[in-house]
Structure 1
Amino acid sequence: MRLLWLFLGLLFARSGFGQINEADTTRWQYRVAATGILLSGNVNDFITSARAEVAENGPRWGLFSATSYVYKRRDNELVTSDVTSRSILYYGQRHRVYPFLEGAVAKSLQRGIDFRYQVGLG
């Protein structure tokens, strides 16, 4: 019986295919999340963060874009204000090898980054 389950598992595992991202099975996918906290006492903190993602999976072209933001204020002093955004544009993602273009932008008060960008081909 164990050999039968092993054989069936290997048989179906060979017929599967990998996904680039979670949007491979749907044409468009959107995700938005936000959270925050307000603390008062010895230390007064206000922290909020937000994240947004968009993924599009067309028959030839694909796009993935994600942006996140973190804001923190402690005792009326700005501690953190970070923005990060990255995007990937790819063509022919159903093939074994396919080209893509990637871009990223970041700004971080906490790490002292005024503006940083990265662009790449693959």
Structure 2
Amino acid sequence: MPGEDLVELKFRLFDGTDIGPIGYSSASTIAMLKERIVSEWPRDKKIIPKAANDVKLISAGKILEDNKTVAQCRPPFDELLGGVTIMHVVVQPSLPKAKSEKKIDEVPKKTSCSCSIM
């Protein structure tokens, strides 16, 4: 789109492969980027995110928040390089609450103390 500030982004997966580079508007949110990553994820990988919430984006050593825009998260030095900004992608599936609560209940509770003071 003419006059729109586009940013070239490349997403580096855990095994070193990349998605992109793709031009995004600097007004795009991190949540929008995550949705695109999930839709373009290579299907031949062992680990495949099921939803955007399973994906974390890291840029300049920081985990990016969903409500931030690309312009807010882009490091200032990439403009000097004039290149593509690389964001690292981590897949961390969320655990269902029912299973995690069940595991807590299965742990035996100790109610007595076996200490001796002499």
TM range (shorter): under 0.3
TM-score using structure 2 length = 0.23
Structure number with higher relative contact order (C-alpha < 8 Å, ≥ 6 residues apart): 2
Higher strand proportion (structure 1 or 2):
1
Higher helix proportion (structure 1 or 2):
2
